[in-house]
Amino acid sequence: ARSHSESALEEEAADAEGPSVDPFDAFYGDYNPWCNIDSYRYWYGYTDYALLKGLQRFGSAAELLAGLEALLLAEDSLARRQEIMAEMRAHQRIRVSETVHWWSQAIMLTCGN
């Protein structure tokens, strides 16, 4: 049996090879929202909808209304809203920190420091 570290190394190697589909496949030829679903899924992984912590998701109008009711009218709604806001703020602080670090490194490399 393979060890956990061997599996992790294999996954890392597969990730280093790039995506298993052409992420630009949707840009070839005429637009059709039902073609190239795999490339849409690939790019979705880089959107704010996929990356933001605390973002509330729903699959239908009924789920949206039920979620809003739970966040606005339920007995513990204030505590739940505060939990969501704290999670989102913490995640945003991390993103800002990562962005500032990236840009500072880019500027230092550009300026030759």
Residue 92 has what pLDDT? 94
pLDDT tens, position by position, for the chain (113 residues)?
556 666 666 666 666 677 787 878 777 777 777 777 888 888 888 898 888 999 999 999 999 999 999 999 999 999 999 999 999 999 999 999 999 999 999 999 999 86
CA 29, 32, 37, 40 torsion: positive or negative?
positive
10 token code pair: 């294999």
78 token code pair: 């204030």
pLDDT tens-place string over residues 84-103 = 999 999 999 999 999 999 99
pTM reported for the whole predicted model: 0.63
Helix, strand, coil in percent for the chain, rounding step 5? 65, 0, 35
Are the C-beta atoms of residues 21 and 38 closer than 8 Å to each other?
yes
